[in-house]
A and B are shown apart, each in its own frame.
Chain A
Amino acid sequence: MVIKQLSIFLENIPGHLRAATSVLAENNINLRALTLADTADFGVLRLIVDQPEIAVELLKNKNFAVKLSEVIAVEIEDTPGGLDKVLKILEEEYVNVEYMYAFMGSKPKKALVIFRVDKLSEAITSLQKNNIKLIESEEEAIDLIYYCWD
């Protein structure tokens, strides 16, 4: 139910983002989804990749501050109110969304949303109870994103 996401600390300086992506490119790690959070001084690059554990080791060896964290990937209806429905369920469980990012899904009329929440197990339980489709694994998420980009 949970997907592993890589987070990389980057200074807000030209060339630093690429320094991280170069490491992954050289080692044939494919980026499937990403988002970059920024502040005045630094950014946090969050990635879904095909081999998260290997990617972490590669980046650590190159002196990056990198963390693996658990996120959930939710398939929602790509129609008005699709996201709202999911957020309402989380709200009712007092689950706080730390951040999220969304993609068009591979299936027609579906979108994929990645959530980082404060209470992971509560979020999963409540979403399942409400028949919301959760992506089972990184592979499934990757496939979904991958195909939509094909």
Chain B
Amino acid sequence: MYWNQKFECLPREALKNLQLERLKQTLERAYHNVPHYRNIMQQESIEPKDLESLEDLRKFPFTRKQDLRDNYPYGMFAVSLSEVVRIHSSSGTTGKPTVVGYTRNDLNTWSELMARALMSAGVQKEDVIQNAYGYGLFTGGLGVHYGAEKIGASIIPISGGNTKRQVMIMKDYESTILTCTPSYALFIAEVIKEMGLKPADLKLKAGLFGAEPWSENMRKEIEEKLEILAIDIYGLSEIIGPGVAVECKYKSGLHIMEDHFIVEVINPKTGEVLPTGEKGELVFTSLTKEALPIIRYRTGDISRIINEKCDCGRTSIKIGRIEGRTDDMIIIRGVNVFPSQIEHVLLEIEEVEPNYQIIVDREGQLDNLEVQVEVSEKTFFDEVKRLESLNKKIRNEIESLLGVSVRVKLVEPKTITRSEGKAKRVIDKRKI
């Protein structure tokens, strides 16, 4: 099933011509309307007119998350605010948030891409979509929402949390599609069981899951426990939000929406473009975005390009599952967490030394975040209640900053392993 067969199945040659034409326009727009792009291109002595083929894209400089922060809030926008109709942003807990804007055309594009993604998972007008992605600044909730409306399916904008109510609504409103993070899908499955229900009591038939890394094993578990088709969806707000890439029912990689984005895979250390099929960092360039054209954005996500004909008939190349990160970012229950954010909190609390380690584990279906903090002479008190109140204070500060629950454990001094003088900050024990 396609939403837009013409573009989803465009012959490769025509697709490449379209990409080249759109890429030229994007480079021009970025160069003339965004001082940052003009500056970095001038530094590299390169101009949009130097692009003659798609391969020339690799001559252009990368864009990093830091560039968006440095140009906070609207410095990367290529249009005036009068043309911007929507703003999303990251939580921005360390330093400046990254702000992304959409013109009316951008929102139409995004809705179109999400309509394609939903239909790729089999969604039809008749379906009832239970959208358990968070609504708000996070692009997940509204991204799915607009795509569903475009198709004309019924959307239940339930957002995340309150799982018993999710299950009640799922049953009573006869939801057929579930959209949320994969770990939340598994949690919902557990609650369904706890409430004495079986998948047969529900009408659920498919789900689109993303916003955090998952695996084939998790897919199998979700598909078995909920008796549905589980589809992987990829996106990030800097590129557009969810809908950058999505699986079809053959589940053999995520189709890139190539008429809107160019994907490259690079060696994260050298920046060189890797041959097709090799594993590296995903880099995206937008082709149609107006408010926030983005040139060679380094996602930090590690995957590979799959260039093979797909039985679904779509002509785009695919990417494999996201296999990891180039930086130390961890994703807990759909929330991006950088160790530096936790360090920031610890430094803010008087007398606490930022000797810490983050342990991520999956207990049952939910990710657990434990922060171990070394006590020091300054923070060790003879009274247990003072230690406990220190523990509570650290926990509250981290939770209010990150928005995810955390367990804080005080540990003995110098027990956090240090290698080459630098502590290993994150231990990820999740088997995903």
A→B interface (CB under 8 Å): 5, 7, 9-11, 16, 37, 39, 41-42, 44, 46, 60, 63-67, 69, 98-99, 116
The interface residues of chain A, by DSSP majority, are classed as strand
Residues of A close to B415: CB separation below 8 A: 11, 63
Whether A64 contacts B382 in the complex (CB less than 8 A), given A39-B388, A44-B387, comes out as no
Whether A67 contacts B412 in the complex (CB less than 8 A), given A9-B375, A42-B387, A44-B387, comes out as no
Give the distance in Å from the alpha carbon of A75 to the alpha carbon of B409 in the complex: 38
> B412 contacts A9, CB within 8 Å?
yes
Q: Which of A65, A69, A98 contacts B412 (CB 8 A)?
A: A65
The verdict on B411 contacting chain A, using a C-beta distance below 8 Å, is yes
A62 to chain B, nearest CB (A): 9
B→A interface (CB under 8 Å): 375-377, 379-385, 387-388, 409-415
B43 to chain A, nearest CB (A): 49
Residues of B close to A16: CB separation below 8 A: 412
Residues of B close to A63: CB separation below 8 A: 412-415
Give the distance in Å from the alpha carbon of A99 to the alpha carbon of B385 in the complex: 11
> A42 contacts B410, CB within 8 Å?
yes
Some 13 contacts from A to B, beta carbons below 8 A apart, are: A11-B411, A16-B412, A44-B382, A44-B387, A46-B382, A60-B377, A63-B415, A65-B376, A65-B377, A67-B377, A67-B381, A99-B383, A116-B383
B361 to chain A, nearest CB (A): 15
**A63 to B, closest residue via Cβ:** B414
B367 to chain A, nearest CB (A): 20
Give the distance in Å from the alpha carbon of A7 to the alpha carbon of B379 in the complex: 13
Give the distance in Å from the alpha carbon of A57 to the alpha carbon of B407 in the complex: 32
**B386 to A, closest residue via Cβ:** A98
B352 to chain A, nearest CB (A): 13
Task: Please give me the 10 A-B residue pairs with the lowest Cβ-Cβ distance, nearest first.
Answer: A65-B380, A7-B382, A63-B414, A69-B382, A65-B375, A9-B380, A63-B413, A41-B409, A65-B413, A37-B384
> A39 contacts B384, CB within 8 Å?
yes
Residues of A close to B410: CB separation below 8 A: 9, 41-42
Give the distance in Å from the alpha carbon of A41 to the alpha carbon of B411 in the complex: 8
